[in-house]
Amino acid sequence: MVVLDKHNIVPYLRDHYPSFNVSGPASVSAIGDDEEDSQGLINYVFRVRNETGSLILKQARANMRLDDDVESTDASYCPPQDRNYSEYLSMKLRRAITPDCVPEVYYADRENHVFLMEDVNYLKPSRPQLAQGIMLSGLAERVARFLCDNHFYTTEFYLDTGEFRELDRRFVNTGMRAIMENWLFLRDTPTHKCPALTRHFLPYIFSDDIVVQSHLMRHKYMNSTQAFIHSDVHTSNIFADDSQIKVIDMEYTFAGPCAYDLGYFLASLVSQYCSAVFRPFPSQGERADFKQYMLHSIYTLVDGYQKRFAAHWSDEAKEVYRSCPGFRDAFVAGLVPDTAGYAAMPMFTLCVSSFGFTHEFEVIPDDGLKLHALQLYCSLGRRFLMGRESIRTPRDIVSAILEGEQAYLSCMK
């Protein structure tokens, strides 16, 4: 295997992808070295520019692109190198379903665990934009459409059963799934490296009741094969402006529960809300406006997904399913409590992750206020997980957030 770096990428492209003209001047930069939103980046990613354009080169290696201590002390943090080829195929499939939401992929080299894709640097990751108080118009609506369409058109509700089974077999993705199954649900992470600020969270997060319910959510995640899910969809993986989104990082893809993707993205919206309760704003009015925007986005994500999924079912599901609207209604309604339960998993794990806090918390300069934001986030995770059976509608999710915020702020007085 050729290990690519800034010095040998241009010759590599000349040999492997001559369609990208590198006969003239070209520059290579490593993504993640200086970016403000590169937390958790596990692959080696490079941007190559020439006079006519740019592309992204992504390589998987035996180690992950994380700090040396994690790489050397924890073998579970070394996922399979063939993940890049699965991601390449996943992006091709999703681009066929939602072409406006997925970057174009150009080339895959299985021997060297490399693939090439469109550079979407004309957009920015949504996480740091939201952390700056930028209210991205239509973000939640577009993500709901992306998730719903990619889910529905890869379910057995729509596909021939044999095609669905073949898709499931092709993307078993055991090695990458294990990372989520153990890291996210069991919090099997190097907890000795838990940030000092939140080390006292550990007994709370590992309390018996939370552990039992986390195991139940993990069991559902491992055994539900409803649709082709992204499995790592959060605001850092959504590049966006006010008119479009591009979704990246699909290496965790497999056939799993629809509500998981909804819950994972919901968690990254709730983190922005919790940060906004405590981080500085130019005025209290702007804080209130941003919080209202986040609540609207949270409602729209789940409500928009439900309505679109039900419409697809009514119009395009196989006859055996179209003829049973009661099953449709029960399935769509049942997504909400599971969405809340799945959202709780990253809400716990990211508070004590050895990788550090996400950008929306890091922008809070005062450690005391940062701790309050993280404690609110963690407490909302408990409210979602333990009370999920009473969370039946998108409005219930919003109410749970508002009630949890009020209860937390009351305890501060």
CATH number of the structural domain spanning residue 56? 3.30.200.20
Print the domain residue range for 217: 124-412
Which of 118, 140, 166 marks a domain boundary? 118
As a whole number of angstroms, the distance between CA 305 and CA 263 comes to 12
Please check whether residues 90 and 130 belong to one and the same domain: no
Please check whether residues 72 and 221 belong to one and the same domain: no
State the total domains in the chain.
2
% of the chain exceeding 70 in pLDDT: 93
Please check whether residues 113 and 204 belong to one and the same domain: no
Please check whether residues 269 and 199 belong to one and the same domain: yes
As a whole number of angstroms, the distance between CA 255 and CA 173 comes to 9
- Mean per-residue pLDDT over the chain, rounded: 91
Please check whether residues 114 and 263 belong to one and the same domain: no
pLDDT at 314: 97
Q: Would residue 2 count as lying in a domain?
A: no
Please check whether residues 299 and 407 belong to one and the same domain: yes
Q: Would residue 3 count as lying in a domain?
A: no
Please check whether residues 81 and 150 belong to one and the same domain: no
CATH number at 231 reads: 3.90.1200.10
The H-or-E segment that residue 338 falls in is helix 325-349
Please give the torsion angle defined by the CA atoms of residues 343, 140, 147 and 118, in that order, rounded to the nearest 10 degrees: -110
Which of 118, 151, 182 marks a domain boundary? 118
Please check whether residues 152 and 264 belong to one and the same domain: yes
Strands (DSSP E) along 144-217, which ranges? none
Q: Would residue 296 count as lying in a domain?
A: yes
Q: Residue-wise pLDDT tens for the chain (413 aa)? A: 899 999 999 999 999 998 898 778 899 999 875 555 545 567 899 999 998 899 999 998 876 655 444 443 455 556 777 888 889 999 999 999 999 999 999 999 999 999 999 999 999 999 999 999 999 999 999 999 999 999 999 999 999 999 999 988 888 888 888 888 888 999 886 545 889 999 999 999 999 999 999 999 999 999 999 999 999 999 999 999 999 999 999 988 899 999 999 999 999 999 999 999 999 999 999 999 999 999 999 999 999 999 999 999 999 999 999 999 999 999 999 999 999 999 999 999 999 987 788 999 999 999 999 999 999 999 999 999 999 999 999 999 999 999 999 999 999 87
pLDDT at 183: 87
Please check whether residues 215 and 291 belong to one and the same domain: yes
Please check whether residues 64 and 159 belong to one and the same domain: no
Concatenating the DSSP letter of every residue in 93-138 gives: HHHHH-TTTS--EEEEETTTTEEEEE--TTSEEHHHHHHTT---TT
Which of 83, 118, 153 marks a domain boundary? 118
Q: Indicate the pTM of the whole model.
A: 0.93
